[in-house]
C-alpha cells in the first residue's frame, strides 16, 4: 500500500514538473503560428491569392508630401517631359554611317534609318539631364544659416566619406580603392580630366580611368553630350542626384528621408563650391585671421566691405 502511495506521489510530482514545459511549448507554438500573413505570403482570402494588398486610390500617409508639392517639384514642366537635344540627335545620325572602334580598330556596322527613327521616337525619361532647363534653379524655401549648418551636418555624415569634406571627390571610400565621385570644383587651368577609378596595367603600373569630361563637370549632362561645370548645374539637379542617386552613388532618400533636408544638403554643396572658388584677397583682416586660426577667438571687429 505504501509502495502504491509512493508511486502515485511520484507520478503527481513529475506531472506537476512537466506541466509548465508543456504549457510553454503550447504557447510558443501558437505565438510562432501567427494569424497575420508574412510579406507576399499566399492567402485564400482574396481572389488573386495574394496577401499583400495595394493601397486604395487616394490613400496617403500622415505627413506625406504630394507630387505637386514645391518641396518635391525639382523638375520644370520641360524636365517632366524632356525632348532629345541636338547632341543626341547628331549622335544617332552618326550611327547610320560605318565607323571604327577607336580601341579595337574593328569596324562597327551602321544602323538602318528606321532604327535611327525608332531611337529618336523613344522619348527620354523624366529627369534626364539633357538640358539645364529641365531643373529648377531655386530652393523652395528661404535658406538661412541654421539650414546650411543642418546641411553641413548631414553632408559630413552621409556624403563626405566619398565626396570629401570640401567636395574634391577624395573621401575615405575612394581612398581605399572604390569608385571616385566627380569633384565639385573645376580645374582653374582646365587641364585636369575627371576620373572614376584606377586601373592596373599589364606592366603592373596604375593609370587613371578617365571618364572623358574635364574635372569638375557633370557626368550626367556629359552622358547627353553636354559639358556643364557642376558649379553651374541647377540646384534641382543636385537635389535629384541626392534623391535618385547616379552611377555608383545609390539613392540617399533613405539616409536623408526629409525632402527639406535634401534641399539643405544641396545648398551646402553649393556653398562648398563658392568657398573653394572665392577670391581670398577680398576677405577682411578679421576673416583671414579666423580662416587661418579657426579655433582662436579675436576681439577685433570685422571690417566693413566697401
Q: What is the pLDDT of residues 206-257, one digit of tens each?
A: 888 899 899 999 999 999 999 999 999 999 999 999 999 999 999 999 999 9
Pick the residue with more confidence: 47 or 31?
47
- 96 with 143, same domain? no
For the stretch 152-176, pLDDT in tens is 999 999 999 999 999 999 999 999 9
Q: What angle do CA 109, 116, 121 make, to 5 degrees?
A: 155
b/e code 90-106 from CB counts within 10 Å (16+ = b): eebeebeeeeeeeeeee
- 139 with 203, same domain? yes
For the stretch 75-128, pLDDT in tens is 999 999 999 999 999 989 999 998 888 777 888 899 999 999 999 999 999 999
Tell me the β-bridge partners of 195: 210
> How far separated are the first and last CA of the chain, in Å rounded?
115
Asked whether residue 157 is assigned to any structural domain, the reply reads: yes
Asked whether residue 222 is assigned to any structural domain, the reply reads: yes
Asked whether residue 268 is assigned to any structural domain, the reply reads: yes
For the stretch 275-296, pLDDT in tens is 888 887 888 888 888 877 776 6
Asked whether residue 37 is assigned to any structural domain, the reply reads: no
- 150 with 198, same domain? yes
Asked whether residue 30 is assigned to any structural domain, the reply reads: no
How far apart are alpha carbons 159 and 165 in whole angstroms?
Answer: 8
148, pLDDT greater than 60: yes
Q: Kindly write down the DSSP assignment for every residue of 145-207, as one continuous string.
A: HHHHHHHHHHHHHHTHHHH-TTSSS--HHHHTTSPPPPPSS--TTS--EEEEEEEE-TTS-EE
Asked whether residue 63 is assigned to any structural domain, the reply reads: no
- 113 with 143, same domain? no
Asked whether residue 44 is assigned to any structural domain, the reply reads: no
- 107 with 149, same domain? no
Provide the 3-class DSSP secondary structure of residue 246.
Answer: strand
- 149 with 207, same domain? yes
What is the domain-level CATH number for residue 218? 1.10.760.10
53-62, 67-76, 262-271: segment of lowest average pLDDT: 53-62
- Among 69, 97, 124, the domain-final residue is 124
Q: Which domain holds residue 101?
A: 84-124
Q: How many domains does the chain have?
A: 2
User: Nearest 10 degrees: CA dihedral of 123, 125, 130, 132?
Assistant: 130
- Whole-angstrom CA distances from 55 to 52, 79, 129 are 10, 28, 32
- 258 with 155, same domain? yes
This prediction's pTM: 0.74
Asked whether residue 109 is assigned to any structural domain, the reply reads: yes
- 266 with 157, same domain? yes
Amino acid at each position: 500500500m505504501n509502495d502504491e502511495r509512493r508511486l502515485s506521489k511520484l507520478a503527481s510530482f513529475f506531472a506537476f514538473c512537466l506541466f509548465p514545459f508543456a504549457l510553454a511549448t503550447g504557447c510558443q507554438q501558437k505565438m510562432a503560428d501567427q494569424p497575420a500573413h508574412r510579406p507576399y505570403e499566399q492567402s485564400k482570402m482574396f481572389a488573386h491569392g495574394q496577401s499583400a494588398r495595394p493601397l486604395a486610390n487616394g490613400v496617403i500617409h500622415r505627413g506625406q508630401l504630394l507630387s505637386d508639392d514645391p518641396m518635391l517639384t525639382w523638375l520644370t514642366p520641360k524636365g517632366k517631359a524632356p525632348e532629345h537635344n541636338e547632341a543626341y540627335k547628331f549622335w544617332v545620325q552618326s550611327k547610320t554611317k560605318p565607323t571604327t572602334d577607336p580601341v579595337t580598330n574593328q569596324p562597327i556596322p551602321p544602323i538602318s534609318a528606321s532604327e535611327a527613327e525608332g531611337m529618336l521616337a523613344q522619348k527620354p525619361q523624366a529627369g534626364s539631364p539633357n538640358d539645364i532647363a529641365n531643373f529648377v534653379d531655386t530652393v523652395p524655401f528661404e535658406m538661412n544659416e541654421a539650414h546650411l549648418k543642418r546641411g553641413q551636418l548631414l553632408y559630413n555624415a552621409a556624403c563626405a566619406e566619398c565626396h570629401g569634406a570640401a567636395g574634391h571627390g577624395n573621401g575615405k571610400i575612394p581612398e581605399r580603392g572604390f569608385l571616385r565621385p566627380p569633384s565639385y570644383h573645376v580645374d582653374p587651368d582646365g587641364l585636369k580630366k575627371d576620373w572614376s577609378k584606377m586601373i592596373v596595367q599589364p606592366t603592373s603600373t596604375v593609370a587613371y580611368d578617365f571618364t572623358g569630361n574635364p574635372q569638375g563637370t557633370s557626368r550626367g549632362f556629359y552622358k547627353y553630350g553636354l559639358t556643364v561645370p557642376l558649379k553651374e548645374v541647377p540646384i534641382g539637379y543636385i537635389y535629384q542626384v541626392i534623391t535618385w542617386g547616379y552611377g555608383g552613388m545609390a539613392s540617399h532618400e533613405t539616409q536623408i528621408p526629409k525632402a527639406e533636408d535634401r534641399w539643405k544638403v544641396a545648398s551646402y554643396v553649393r556653398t562648398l563650391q563658392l568657398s573653394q572658388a572665392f577670391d581670398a584677397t577680398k576677405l577682411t583682416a578679421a576673416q583671414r585671421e579666423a580662416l587661418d586660426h579657426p579655433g582662436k577667438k579675436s576681439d577685433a571687429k570685422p571690417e566693413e566691405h566697401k
